[in-house]
Amino acid sequence: MTVEQTYPLHGKKLSLSPWLLIAAGLAAMYIPSFVDLFHGVWGTERNAHGPIVLAVACCYMYVRIRQLREEGLIERKPAPLAGGAMMCFGLLCFALGRSQTVLFMEAGSLVPILAGVVLLFFGVRTCKRLWFAFFFMLFMVPLPASVVDLLTQPLKIGVSYAAEHLLRVFDYPIARSGVILYMGQYQLLVADACAGLNSLFTLEALGLLYMNLVRHQSLLRNVTLALLIVPISFTANTVRVVVLALITYHLGDAAGQGFLHGFAGMLLFFVALGLIIAMDSLLRLIAVRYALWRGIAVPEAVPRARKPAAQERGALFAIGVPQAALMATGMVVAVAVAHLLVPREENVVKTAKFDSFVPHAFADWREVPSPYLQVSVDLDDGTGRNPDQPYDDVLSRTYVNSRGEQVMLALAYAGEQMQDVKIHSPEVCYVAQGFVLRDSTPMSLSTVGAGKPVSGRRFVARNNDRLEAVSYWMRIGDSFPDGGLAARIKIFREGMAGRISDGILVRASSLMRESGQESAAYALQQRFLLDLDAAMSKSNPGLLAPV
């Protein structure tokens, strides 16, 4: 049994000094973080909604606090244990996220820290009454790229399919391969920003904010509208892709990628908001007709709250300087800890471009021109690395042996493996370019001088008449992670040890005439990779596999 302690308000006067101390601590933590986010993921189309959600959440919290104060619903029943635990959790998330570039922890730590402040000074009930402001703020948090890649691919393919068939109805010359649309002489990639999970999250946040402001009394109506936001998001994304395709087709690629591209992004949210309001009006009409049919009262919005009790504003928000100073000190300590934990020791194996040292001929293999295009692994175009283009250098070649057997080689290297910029598995690239994957299995082979067997994966990819067997491995530092989560754990461990490791993707693939030739294709690729490693280990030991 617990006893809640209510602090008397009479005689207290508001002093801004404690609140300024807390504000200074928050500024020391999050101004550098938000500046980095603005120049990083928030500056990309994939997460451009982040600062907008943050601004709206802050405005909503301010309005909600004023509303609660006027209604007399802000209580002074501090919960020091819950508040202290929440505050410590937020500071820990910030220190780890900031030092190891775990962006969702760094940005998301603001939520438990603000919740901790409310709990420490006002208690659990007041914190519960601000729940939607904290929940809404979560939509600003950048999602891990591996999560986005995993969940967003079906959305992108679906939007591409819908846009293709919609434009075909109006007799436009359009074809599709995966998430790539071919319209006339133009090629359009349906990227995450056009049809991804982040836009779905943003529109879901927009719909939830709308419902919270309208404050419907019917739970069924609220749940139905929240679920309808998923198809609404799909429809709005399809409209955006169609508009961009039409702009590119009629006005050229420069127009499609310039100002009108951003305008299409604004159109996405206008269309979505219009559809949300339209669906809400439709649900309202259905509810009214149902009520008239059943002869019951029409459900109304939540009535206005009771009149506030007489409380002085100064007394309500008056807090002690020692508590505020302790909070601000904890925030500054978290900033210092994050700075100390930043990894600084770089482990770079490769210093020259692949073209300068990867042999054109080795063992029984020689490079030949190939009419077959390889699946891209994404190479930076000179504008700076980002989660979609994480590599410093890539190489794509085709080799043939004396028996006429061909193997396609792809190498991709990144000198710094960080949580926000890291190697991704080839499955993502193959699916994005229209391939259907099957028979994914682990592989292992012992290379020259390797301390342990190389671990990777194999799979078969099909796109129309093209059937391709693929073998690959990813090396980060001295290990071979299997998947995005394993890669994140490896990078985190290296970072906590103060090291920044490099990484390389090694991919070999060959075309098959028909199914059932996978074993022969994998055996051919294994011989090729062993010969390549033997040739490479003389000039660049440890590049393909740790020595």
d(CA 424, CA 70): 52
Helix (H) or strand (E) segment spanning residue 192: helix 192-195
For every residue of 86-116, which 3-state class applies, written as one string? HHHHHHHHHHHHHHCCCHHHHHHCHHHHHHH
In 378-502, which ranges are continuous DSSP H helix? Answer: 426-432, 484-496
Sign of CA dihedral 294, 296, 298, 302: negative
Cβ(69)–Cβ(308) below 8 Å: yes
Q: Is 429 among the catalytic positions?
A: no
Contacts of 266 (CB under 8 A, 6+ apart): none
Q: Of 76, 129, 240, 397, which residue is the catalytic one?
A: 240
Token pair for 429: 């690239």
Cβ(202)–Cβ(53) below 8 Å: yes
d(CA 173, CA 182): 8
- Cα Rg of the chain (Å, integer): 28
Q: Of 76, 194, 397, 488, which residue is the catalytic one?
A: 194
Contacts of 126 (CB under 8 A, 6+ apart): 68, 73, 74, 75, 77, 118
Token pair for 271: 């269309």
Q: Is 194 among the catalytic positions?
A: yes
Question: Burial, 29: exposed, middle or buried (Cβ in 10 Å; 0-12, 13-18, 19+)?
Answer: buried
Sign of CA dihedral 124, 125, 130, 135: positive
Active site residues: 194, 240
